[in-house]
C-alpha cells in the first residue's frame, strides 16, 4: 500500500466516525440538555466528573454541543460542495464543449470570480440574505465554483481533441451524445476529487462565516461554538475546554477530507 | 497587442466589480433601509427620509448611474453607521492593514518558498513529510481559531487587542516598538496560514522541474547538487510560484478579515466585521469594491511581472 492509500484510508475512517456521530447525536441528545434556560450545571466548569469536556458560558456540556454541531458542519460542507462542484462542472463542460461567444463570456465570468476572494463574496451574500442554513450553503456554493469550472473545462478540451470523439462526431453524434458518452465519463473522476476537496474548504468557510456571526442562529455548529466562545470571553477565562474541541473537530474533519481527496487524486492521475 | 488585452481585461473586471457591488447591496436586499434599521425603533416617516437621503427612492437605473459616476470620481457613498464618506472611513483603516498584510506576506513568501524548495529537493525525506504534513494541517486550521489559541497560549506575553497602548510615550521609537509588540500575534497567525499554502505551491512547482533534461545536463557538467538547485532548478520553478502567490492574494485578504477581527487590529478587516454586524450596506459595498479592485490590480501586476521575469512569456 502506498502512503497515499494509508493516509486516505485513515481519512475515510475519521469521516465514517464523524458521519456516525452526526447521525446518532440528534437521536440520543435530550433537547433539554442544550436548552440554555433548562441547564442546571454551573457556567465555565473545567472538564471533570459529569461533564468530561466541561461546560460553556451558560452551563451546557461542551461535549454534547460538539456532538450536536457535527451534523450542521457536515451538512453545510457536503451540500455547499455539491452545489459548487455542480455549477463548476456545468460551466466547465458548456464552456469547453461549445465554442464561440457563449464560451468566451463564461470563461470571462469564471476568471473574474476565480480571482475575487471567495470569502469576501460569501460574507457579502450572507449579510444581504436572511440568516439561515440555506443562505450559508448558497453563499459558499455560489462563490467557490470557478476552480472546478477551470479544471473541468481543461479536461473537456483535452478529451474533445482525441480521435475517438472526432470519430463519434463523424458518425453523426450530436452535442448530447458527445457530452453524455464521452465528456461526462472523462470528467467524473476529476469532479469526484474536486468535490472531496471542496467539502474540506466548505467546512472551513462555514466555520468562518459562523464565527463572524453570519451563521444560522437557531443551530449549533462548530463555527457557531467558537463564535460564542469569542463573544463570551473564553480566551480571558482561559477556558481551553471550550476553545479546543470545536477547533480540533474542524481541523480533523477537514484534514480527513483533504487526505481522502489527495488519495483519490493519486488514483485518478497516476503520473505522480 | 497582448499588453492592451491584459489592461482591457483588468478594466472589464473592475467594471464587473462595480456592477457586482451594486447588485449585491442595492438589488438583492430589496430595501436596504429596512434591513439596516432592523431592531431599531424607526417610523415609516424616518425610513422614507433615510431613503430620500441615500437616494434609494429613485428608480434603480438612476441609482446605478449616480453610483457609477460617483465611483469614477472616487466617491464610494456615505456610510450608514459612521455618517461619513465611505472613502474617508476606508482611508483611515488602510495603514494598519497594509502594515499587517505587508509584514505577514513578506515573511510568508520568504519562509514558504524556502520550505517548499527544501521539501521538493529531497522528496519523501523526513523534512518533506513534516513540511507537507504541517502545511496540510495548517491549511485545515481556521485562521480565527489559530489566533484565539495563540492568544490563550501566550497569555500576557503579547498584547492581544488593538495596535498600540494609550499610555506609550509619544516619541517615535517607543511608538514603533509598541506597534511592533502588538503586531506579533496577528502577523504570526496570518503567516502560519498563508505560508502553508505558499510552501505547497512552491513544492509542487519545483517537483514539476525535477526531471527536466537541463538539470541532468547541469549535473553532467559536474556541478555540485547545491548549485544545480540554486542556479538552475529554483530560478525556473520560482516563476510560476511567484505568479501563484500574487494570484492567491485573495487568500491574504480573507485571512486579514478574521485575523483583524480576533485581535481587534484597527484595519480594513475589522471594519469589514463592524460593517457586517451593523449591517452597513453602503460601507460593505465600498469595502467590497475596494478589496476586489485591489485583487484585480494585483492580478494584472502578476501578469505583467511574469512577463518581465520570464522572457519565455511575451506580454508586450
pLDDT at B68 over 70: yes
Q: How many domains does chain A have?
A: 1
Whether residues A204 and B140 touch (CB distance < 8 A) is answered with yes
pLDDT digits (tens, 9 = 90+) for A4-31: 778 889 999 999 999 999 898 888 877 7
A193 within a domain of the structure (yes/no): yes
Tens digits of residue pLDDT in A99-146: 889 888 999 899 888 888 888 999 999 988 888 899 999 999 999 999
The mean pLDDT of A243-250, rounded to a whole number, is 93
Domain B93-280+298-309 of CATH type 3.40.50.12160: no
Give A-chain residues touching B35 at CB under 8 angstroms.
128
Chain A residue numbers touching B24 (CB-CB < 8 A): 124-125, 128
Instruction: Kindly state the percentage of chain B with pLDDT values over 70.
Output: 97
Residues of A within 8 A of B142 (CB-CB) are 204, 207-208, 211, 223, 226, 247, 250-251
The Cα–Cα gap between A207 and A223 comes to 4
Q: What pLDDT was estimated at residue A272?
A: 43
Partners of residue A244 in chain B, C-beta under 8 Å: 149
- Residue B28 burial class via C-beta count within 10 angstroms: exposed 0-12, middle 13-18, buried 19 and up: middle
Task: Specify if A13 maps to a domain.
Answer: yes
Predicted local confidence at residue A83, as pLDDT: 97
Q: Could you state, in order of their start, the residue ranges of all structural domains in chain B?
A: 93-280+298-309
Among A132-141, B4-13, B58-67, B245-254, the range scoring the smallest mean pLDDT is B245-254
Question: In B, which residues are within 8 Å of A2 by CB distance?
Answer: none
pLDDT at position B53, please?
Answer: 78
CA–CA separation, B134 and B112 (whole Å): 12
Q: Which residue has the cell 530560478?
A: B235
Q: How far is CA B84 from the centre of its chain?
A: 25
Top pLDDT among B98 and B240 is at B98
| Chain pair A-B, CB pairs under 8 angstroms | 122
Cell numbers describing residue A134? 440555506
* Per-residue model confidence as pLDDT tens digits over B172-231: 888 888 888 899 999 999 999 889 889 998 999 899 888 889 988 998 999 998 888 988
What's the pTM? Answer: 0.89
Is residue A1 pLDDT above 90, yes or no? Answer: no
Residue in A73, A104, A127, A214 to test binding to B, most B beta-carbons within 10 Å: A127
Question: Which pLDDT belongs to residue B37?
Answer: 77
Q: Which of B12, B145, B277 has its CB closest to that of A247?
A: B145
pLDDT band for position B313 (cuts 50, 70, 90): low
Asked whether residue A218 carries a pLDDT value surpassing 90, the answer given is no
Say what the pLDDT of residue B245 is: 78
Question: Does residue A37 belong to any structural domain of this protein?
Answer: no
More confident residue, A77 or B306: A77
Give B285's pLDDT tier (boundaries 50, 70, 90).
Answer: very high
A16 part of a folded domain: yes
Q: How far is B69 from chain A (nearest CA, A)?
A: 22
pLDDT computed for residue A206 by the predictor:
94
pLDDT tier, B315 (very low <50, low <70, confident <90, very high otherwise): very low
Contact A244, B182 (CB under 8 A): no
pLDDT tens-digit readout, B17-33: 999 999 888 888 777 78
pLDDT exceeds cutoff 60 at B1 = no
pLDDT at position B314 over 60: no
Q: Do B254 and A118 touch (CB under 8 A)?
A: yes
Q: How far is A58 from chain B (nearest CA, A)?
A: 20
Contact A243/B295, CB-based, under 8 Å? no
pLDDT for position A146: 93
B218: CB partners within 8 A, 6+ apart: B227, B228, B231, B232
From the CB of residue A248, how many other CB atoms can be counted at a distance below 10 Å? Answer: 14
Q: For A237-242, what is the mean pLDDT?
A: 85
Averaged confidence pLDDT in chain A: 88
Q: Mean pLDDT, to the nearest integer, of B230-253?
A: 82
Q: In A, which residues are within 8 Å of B36 by CB distance?
A: none
- Identify the pLDDT of residue A41: 74
Expressed as residue numbers, the domain containing A216 is 3-28+76-83+118-143+173-268
Alpha-carbon Rg for chain B in angstroms: 24
Per-residue pLDDT reduced to its tens digit, B140-180: 899 999 999 999 888 778 887 888 887 777 888 888 888 88
Cα–Cα dist A133/A3, whole Å: 37
Give domain status of residue A162, yes or no.
no
What are the backbone dihedrals phi and psi of residue B156, each rounded to the nearest 5 degrees, phi first?
-95, 5
- Which of A117, A211, A240 faces B295 most closely, judged by CB atoms? A117
pLDDT score of A271:
55
pLDDT of residue B194: 87
Distance CA(B206)–CA(B212), nearest Å, equals 10
How wide is the angle at C-alpha B241 spanned by C-alphas B147 and A203, nearest 5°?
40
Three-state DSSP at A61 gives: strand
CA–CA dist A173, A168 (Å, integer): 5
> Which residues from chain A sit within 8 angstroms of residue B141, using beta carbons?
247, 250-251
pLDDT at B185: 93
B276 vs A214, A244, A246: nearest CB: A214
- With CA atoms as reference, the chain B residue closest to A247 would be B145
Contact B143 A208 (CB under 8 A): yes
User: Which helix (H) or strand (E) segment is A95 a member of?
Assistant: helix A62-97
User: How far is it, in rounded angstroms, from Cα A234 to Cα B168?
Assistant: 28
Binary contact (B254, A119; C-beta < 8 A): yes
Residues in chain A with CB shorter than 8 Å from the CB of B284 are 124, 127
SS (H, E, C) chain B: CHHHHHHHHHHHHHHHHHHHHHHHHHHCCCCHHHHHCCCCCCCHHHHHHHHHHCCCCCCHHHHHHHHHHHHHCCCCCECCCCCCEHHHHHHHHHHHHHHHHHHHHHHHHHHHHHHHHHHHHCCCCHHHHHHHHHHHHHHHCCHHHHHHHHHHHHCCCCCCCCCCCCCCCCCHHHHHHHHHHHHHHHHHHHHHHHHHHHHHHHHHHHHHHCCCHHHHHHHHCCCCHHHHHHHHHHHHHHHHHHHHHHHCHHHHHHHHHHHHHHHCCCCHHHHHHHHHHCCCHHHHHHHHHHHHHHHHHHHHHHHHHHHHHCCCCCCC
Cβ atoms within 10 A of the Cβ of B139, count? 19
Nearest-CA residue of chain A relative to B11? A112
Predicted confidence (pLDDT) at residue A255 exceeds the cutoff of 80? yes
- Average pLDDT of chain B to the nearest whole number: 86
**Which residue would you say has higher pLDDT here, B56 or B91?**
B91
Q: Which of B31, B124, B145 to mutate to test the interface with A (most CBs of A within 10 A)?
A: B145
Cβ of B145 within 8 Å of Cβ of A243? The answer is yes
Whether B274 contacts B257, CB under 8 Å? no
Chain B hits for A200, CB-CB cut-off 8 Å, are 140
Amino acid at each position: 500500500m502506498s502512503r497515499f492509500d494509508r493516509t486516505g484510508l485513515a481519512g475515510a475512517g475519521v469521516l465514517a466516525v464523524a458521519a456516525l456521530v452526526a447521525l446518532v447525536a440528534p437521536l440520543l441528545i435530550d433537547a433539554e440538555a442544550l436548552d440554555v434556560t433548562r441547564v442546571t450545571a454551573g457556567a465555565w466548569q473545567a472538564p471533570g466528573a459529569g461533564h468530561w469536556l466541561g461546560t460553556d458560558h451558560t452551563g451546557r456540556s461542551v461535549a454534547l454541543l460538539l456532538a450536536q454541531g457535527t451534523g450542521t458542519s457536515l451538512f453545510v460542507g457536503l451540500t455547499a460542495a455539491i452545489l459548487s462542484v455542480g455549477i463548476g462542472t456545468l460551466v466547465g463542460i458548456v464552456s469547453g464543449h461549445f465554442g464561440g461567444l457563449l464560451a468566451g463570456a463564461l470563461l470571462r465570468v469564471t476568471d473574474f470570480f476565480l480571482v475575487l476572494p471567495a470569502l469576501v463574496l460569501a460574507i457579502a451574500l450572507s449579510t444581504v440574505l436572511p440568516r439561515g442554513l440555506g443562505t450559508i450553503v448558497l453563499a459558499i456554493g455560489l462563490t467557490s465554483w470557478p476552480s472546478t469550472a477551470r479544471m473541468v473545462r481543461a479536461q473537456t478540451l483535452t478529451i474533445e481533441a482525441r480521435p475517438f470523439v472526432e470519430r463519434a462526431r463523424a458518425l453523426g453524434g450530436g452535442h448530447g451524445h458527445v457530452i453524455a458518452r464521452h465528456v461526462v465519463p472523462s470528467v467524473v473522476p476529476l469532479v469526484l476529487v474536486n468535490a472531496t476537496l471542496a467539502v474540506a474548504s466548505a467546512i472551513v468557510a462555514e466555520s468562518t462565516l459562523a464565527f463572524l456571526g453570519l451563521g444560522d442562529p437557531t443551530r449549533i455548529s462548530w463555527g457557531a461554538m467558537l463564535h460564542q466562545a469569542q463573544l463570551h470571553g473564553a480566551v480571558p477565562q482561559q477556558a481551553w475546554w471550550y476553545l479546543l474541541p470545536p477547533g480540533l473537530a474542524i481541523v480533523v474533519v477537514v484534514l480527513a477530507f483533504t487526505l481522502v481527496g489527495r488519495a483519490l487524486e493519486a488514483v485518478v492521475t497516476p503520473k505522480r | 497587442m497582448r499588453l492592451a488585452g491584459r489592461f482591457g481585461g483588468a478594466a472589464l473586471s473592475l467594471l464587473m466589480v462595480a456592477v457586482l457591488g451594486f447588485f449585491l447591496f442595492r438589488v438583492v436586499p430589496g430595501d436596504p433601509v429596512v434591513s439596516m434599521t432592523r431592531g431599531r425603533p424607526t417610523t415609516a416617516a424616518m425610513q422614507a427620509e433615510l431613503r430620500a437621503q441615500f437616494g434609494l427612492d429613485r428608480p434603480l437605473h438612476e441609482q446605478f448611474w449616480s453610483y457609477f459616476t460617483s465611483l469614477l470620481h472616487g466617491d464610494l457613498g456615505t456610510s450608514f453607521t459612521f455618517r461619513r464618506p465611505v472613502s474617508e472611513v476606508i482611508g483611515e483603516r488602510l495603514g494598519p492593514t497594509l502594515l499587517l498584510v505587508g509584514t505577514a506576506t513578506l515573511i510568508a513568501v520568504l519562509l514558504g518558498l524556502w520550505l517548499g524548495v527544501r521539501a521538493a529537493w529531497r522528496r519523501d525525506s523526513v523534512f518533506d513529510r513534516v513540511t507537507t504534513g504541517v502545511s496540510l494541517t495548517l491549511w485545515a486550521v481556521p485562521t480565527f481559531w489559530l489566533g484565539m489559541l495563540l492568544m490563550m497560549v501566550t497569555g500576557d506575553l503579547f498584547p492581544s487587542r488593538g495596535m498600540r497602548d494609550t499610555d506609550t510615550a509619544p516619541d517615535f521609537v517607543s511608538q514603533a516598538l509598541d506597534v511592533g509588540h502588538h503586531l506579533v500575534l496577528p502577523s504570526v497567525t496570518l503567516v502560519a496560514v498563508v505560508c502553508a499554502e505558499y510552501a505547497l505551491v512552491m513544492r509542487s512547482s519545483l517537483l514539476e522541474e525535477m526531471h527536466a533534461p537541463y538539470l541532468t545536463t547541469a549535473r553532467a557538467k559536474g556541478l555540485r547538487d547545491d548549485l544545480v538547485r540554486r542556479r538552475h532548478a529554483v530560478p525556473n520553478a520560482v516563476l510560476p510560484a511567484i505568479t501563484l502567490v500574487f494570484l492567491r492574494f485573495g487568500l491574504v485578504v480573507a485571512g486579514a478579515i478574521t485575523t483583524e477581527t480576533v485581535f481587534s487590529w484597527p484595519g480594513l478587516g475589522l471594519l469589514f466585521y463592524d460593517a457586517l454586524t451593523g449591517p452597513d450596506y453602503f460601507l460593505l459595498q465600498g469595502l467590497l469594491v475596494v478589496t476586489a479592485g485591489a485583487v484585480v490590480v494585483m492580478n494584472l501586476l502578476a501578469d505583467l511581472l511574469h512577463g518581465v521575469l520570464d522572457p519565455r512569456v511575451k506580454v508586450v
